[in-house]
């Protein structure tokens, strides 16, 4: 045997020629292929694998030679790559195969590469090394991250609501579909989250969570978000405390406007007082258009012990008694707080002032003047020259004081000076 080549002598021929003895040797032979190791597939490509997850591939190890080959050592390199247990040394006879399992567990996101080396020795003690390249790409796990991770509403008065924003983010490398958002706990609700909802990688959705306590005391609940993410269901803790509602008092309990002339107005004041806890007044309504509320801007919040004033004005449109009810809506336990009111529309009293004076010789008529300050200035109130010595002023206003003088006019339209001044005090009403 010479290396891997064997020679087999087939025949020997003895030839005699010209007295010489000639020995001719003829031979033929066949090459024997030394045992060789081959790996399939090569290289080993894992593709995309979520960080924290594992992916395994089987590699076939075959002896494609005609003699035995022995694997004596296996060497791994590269972060995230490993190989299942492999008893060494391992001898593969000619034409036989075995398999090895390569596992990829990316420690993070990004591209990873490595290799596995198989040291072998053939029957003739010739050594060889087979190197198998490894590659894979790590992607972030499909995780739905909440911000904040819990919702604490604090103290909320019964009848009020508190809102908080919640954001869900797909921090993985593939699409996440949110299919359900289930709530437990009394007084909690959500808005702005329409399901099913699909979030691509790094996409977020923000919605509103609301706490509306129905009674005083601590409350807790859970928002359970169901999706195809690896951390489904995602549970977000909810908490809040309902506090007792305040009381709203309106004073006086009733307003009486008495008699008010039709077309005139009368105003009275009232007060609102909060006790026990803060009260938010949201609206006020009057059921009679002859009464008008002013002096308060709504919504308004009164702290416990605080008060605010308002004004109601009565302007009767017809004669006769009327009434109204003013209701203040709030988050107080006794909402609405109601104030009643009454008033009577009356016909306006028409006052007049009757004036008379002594006549003047040669006078053909007289003018009458009126002022609101003693001594004038005065304004003429008769529309045309008055031929008598009397005049009735029916344009006076209740509660006003007036001052009057008269002048004489002759046939040549010459007007005298003012007469003595007289005063008239108009009653009210």
Distances (CA, A) of 164 to 153, 161, 210, 428: 7, 10, 6, 61
Q: Which pLDDT belongs to residue 124?
A: 85
- Distance between CA 315 and CA 291 in Å, rounded? 7
What whole-number distance in Å separates Cα of residue 281 and Cα of residue 270?
A: 15
pLDDT digits (tens, 9 = 90+) for 251-277: 999 999 999 989 899 999 999 999 988
Structural domains present in the chain: 37-139 (2.60.40.10), 146-241 (2.60.40.10), 247-346 (2.60.40.10), 353-425 (2.60.40.10)
357-to-14, 385, 391, 404, 410 alpha-carbon distances in Å:
190, 15, 9, 11, 16
**Strand stretches in 287-376, DSSP E:** 291-294, 300-302, 307-314, 320-330, 337-346, 353-356, 363-371
- The closest of 214, 259, 262 to 240, measured between CA atoms, is 214
pLDDT, tens digit (0-9, with 9 covering 90-100), for 304-360: 999 999 999 999 999 999 999 999 999 898 999 999 999 999 987 788 999 999 999
In the predicted structure, residue 76 carries a pLDDT above the cut 70:
yes
Spatial distance between the Cα atoms of 71 and 291, rounded to a whole number of angstroms: 105
**Prediction pTM value:** 0.47
CB 181 within 8 A of CB 137: no
Task: Please say whether the beta carbons of 142 and 234 come within 8 A.
Answer: no
Report whether pLDDT(32) > 90.
Answer: no
């Amino acid at each position: 045997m010479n290396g891997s080549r064997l020679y087999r002598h087939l025949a020997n021929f003895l030839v005699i020629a010209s007295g010489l003895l000639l020995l001719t040797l003829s031979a033929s032979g066949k090459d024997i292929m030394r045992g060789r190791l081959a790996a399939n597939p090569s290289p080993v490509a894992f593709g995309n694998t979520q960080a924290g997850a594992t992916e395994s591939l089987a590699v076939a190890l075959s002896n494609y030679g005609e003699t035995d080959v022995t694997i004596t050592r296996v060497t791994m390199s590269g972060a995230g790559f490993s190989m299942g247990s492999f008893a060494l040394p391992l001898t593969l006879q000619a034409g036989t195969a075995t398999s090895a399992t390569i596992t990829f567990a990316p420690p993070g996101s990004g591209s990873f590469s490595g290799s596995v080396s198989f040291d072998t020795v053939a029957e003739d003690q010739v050594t060889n090394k087979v190197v198998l390249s490894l590659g894979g790409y790590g992607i972030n796990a499909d995780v739905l991250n909440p911000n904040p991770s819990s919702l604490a509403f604090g103290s909320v008065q019964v009848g009020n609501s508190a809102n908080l924003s919640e954001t869900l983010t797909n921090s993985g490398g593939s699409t996440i579909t949110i299919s359900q958002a289930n709530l437990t706990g009394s007084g909690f609700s959500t808005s702005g989250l329409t399901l099913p909802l699909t979030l691509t990688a790094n996409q977020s959705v923000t919605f509103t969570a609301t706490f509306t306590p129905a009674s005083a005391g601590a409350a807790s609940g859970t928002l359970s978000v169901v999706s195809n993410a690896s951390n489904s269901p995602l549970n977000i803790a909810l908490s809040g405390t309902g506090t007792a509602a305040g009381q709203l008092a309106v004073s006086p309990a009733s307003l009486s406007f008495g008699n008010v002339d039709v077309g005139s107005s009368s105003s009275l004041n009232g007060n609102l007082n909060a006790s026990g806890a803060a009260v938010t007044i949201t609206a006020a309504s009057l059921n009679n258009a002859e009464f008008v509320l002013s002096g308060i801007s709504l919504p308004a919040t009164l702290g416990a012990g605080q008060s605010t004033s308002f004004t109601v004005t009565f302007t009767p449109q017809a004669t006769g008694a009327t009434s109204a009810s003013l209701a203040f809506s709030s988050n107080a336990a006794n909402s609405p707080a109601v104030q009643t009111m009454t008033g009577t529309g009356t016909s306006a009293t028409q006052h007049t002032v009757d004036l008379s004076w002594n006549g003047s010789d040669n006078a053909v008529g007289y003018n009458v003047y009126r002022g609101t300050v003693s001594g004038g200035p005065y304004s003429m109130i008769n529309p045309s020259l008055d031929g008598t010595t009397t005049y009735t002023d029916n344009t006076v206003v209740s509660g006003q004081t007036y001052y009057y003088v008269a002048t004489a006019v002759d046939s040549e339209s010459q007007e005298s000076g003012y007469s003595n001044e007289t005063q008239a005090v108009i009653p009210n009403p």
